[in-house]
Amino acid sequence: MSDELKIVMECVKRLEPEMVELQKELVRRPSVGPESGGEGEKARVDYLVPLLRGWGLEVTEYRAPDPRVPCGYRPSIVARLKGRSGPCLWLMTHLDIVPAGARELWNTDPFEAVVKDGRIYGRGTEDNQQEMVASCFAVKAFLDSGVVPARDVALMLVADEETGSGHGAGWLLDNHDLCRSDDLVVVPDAGNGEGTFIEVAEKSIAWVRFAVQGRQGHASVPSGNAHRVGANLLVKLDRVLHEKYDAKDELFRPEVSTFEPTKKEANVPNINTIPGEDVFYFDCRVLPQYRLEDLLADMKAVAKETGKQFGMEVEVGTEQFAQAAPATDPDAPVVKLLTRAIKDVYGKDPTAGGIGGGTVAAFFRRRGIPAAVWGKYVGTAHNPNEYCLIENMAGDAQVYARMLMPESRKPD
């Protein structure tokens, strides 16, 4: 280990108490989107911008118009530190969080951080504040130590990740020329408990709505029961989709396409009324080799056939419909650089693979910029009593700092 690397790593370790304090400040500034009744990310950004500038970073705030929030915009931040040479390493995390949910399920106030037994409890502490704080303090270690990073680094803190990124990463990349094709992009927003999984590919996503139109009436004289038709349709869809789209790809976890019936809307409030409408949804995570247009056509065909069988109309629509972005090559420079850093810090060899969930890495990949998704996570995101492990936050900060040091050897 070089003298400079030792200095930076020791500095990261000394900064751990400050990491905990920043988590506390973020927790008490909720950044829930307007879709869930929140006011967005402004309070959080108003705190972070002067903080990061005070550290010595070059900070730019970008504002995506959004009339649904009081200030009229959704802010994102890019904070830069000049290194010795390019390409730039981008560390992209998100500012927004999901709502706390039922308060009775929390043992503590979700918006007042509690530190206990090596954990920080509070909404957003793991998703995505753990990695936001880790990446910020990885950069601060260079500022505090006076060591110049081997490459330029830019922290991208974006709005609106939890609800589609239309006012966050998507808007930012569409409206501002920020990243070059040879830049290195890490999205610290998914991983496993050992820190040994690097996400390089994602499945296509289709959220599909089915609405059966029947005839409401008294249950003693049954006719036009939309609920029965919906139940038949659900079972047929489940069978047809799993039979036709049955390929396996060992790159992904799970290795197959998934088709899950999820949300179901309320129909009638009482037992003795036949529902005149039945509405339900499928969440489909499809291997990239399949075209979502073909999937939707098959779903519509099954819906039409089932509706005809019972003499009813079935409407089919999409809530989300995104063909998978091109995968990042497991041998891409960003993956090799991240792999080496993880091995140096945690002493483990990570593997690259694909997931069914969607991340903002897709926005970069569609622009021809390879992106790697990573983090060391317990898996409490969106849960009541969400927490992050302080050791994960501090350890991941070391990983990002290691990525900014000169190559001591060629990546394997």
Give the other-Cβ count within 10 Å of 21's Cβ.
13
Dist. CA 365–CA 328, nearest whole Å:
7
3-state secondary structure of 206: strand
Residues whose CB is less than 8 angstroms from the CB of residue 54 and which lie 6 or more positions away in sequence, other chains included: none
Q: Is the pLDDT of residue 323 over 60?
A: yes
Q: Considering the entire predicted model, what is its pTM?
A: 0.88
What's the pLDDT tens digit per position in 238-248?
Answer: 999 999 999 99
Given 127, 160, 161, 199, which residue is catalytic?
A: 161
Closest CA to 66 of 189, 146, 140, 163: 163
Go through 230-249 and write b for each residue having 16 or more CB atoms within 10 A of its CB, e for each that does not. beebbeebeebbeeebeeeb
Q: Where are the domains of the chain?
A: 3-202+325-403, 204-322
The single residue of 96, 127, 131, 160 carrying the catalytic annotation is 96
| Residue 407 confidence (pLDDT) | 73
- pLDDT at site 409: 46
CB of 44 within 8 A of CB of 174?
no
pLDDT, residue 410, reads: 43
For residue range 53-70, what is the model confidence (pLDDT) as tens digits?
999 999 999 999 999 999
DSSP 256: B
Banded pLDDT at 85 (limits 50, 70, 90): confident
Reported as a pLDDT band with limits 50, 70 and 90, residue 358 is confident
Q: What is the mean pLDDT of residues 287-302?
A: 98
Whether 316 shows a pLDDT value over 50: the answer reads: yes
The first and second tokens of residue 14, run together, are 């000394």
* CATH number at 3-202+325-403: 3.40.630.10
Checking if the pLDDT of 86 tops 80, the result is no
- What confidence tens digit (pLDDT) does each residue in 7-59 have? 999 999 999 999 999 999 999 999 999 999 999 999 999 999 999 999 999 99
The DSSP letter of residue 148 is: P
- Supply the pLDDT for residue 326: 95
Rounded to an integer, the average pLDDT of 151-156 is 98
What mean pLDDT comes out for the span 320-326? 94
- What is the overall mean pLDDT for the chain? 96
Q: How far from each other are the two terminal CA atoms of the chain, in whole angstroms?
A: 17
* Three-class DSSP category at 193: coil
- Confirm whether 161 is a catalytic residue: yes
pLDDT of residue 336: 97
* Neighbour tally for 129: CB within 10 Å: 29
Query: For a pLDDT cut of 70, what percent of the chain falls above it?
Result: 99
pLDDT bin (cut points 50, 70, 90) of residue 408 is low
Q: Which helix (H) or strand (E) covers residue 58, if one does?
A: strand 58-65
User: What's the pLDDT at 411?
Assistant: 40
Quick one: pLDDT at residue 250? 93
Q: Please give the DSSP secondary-structure letter assigned to residue 142.
A: H
CATH code at 204-322: 3.30.70.360
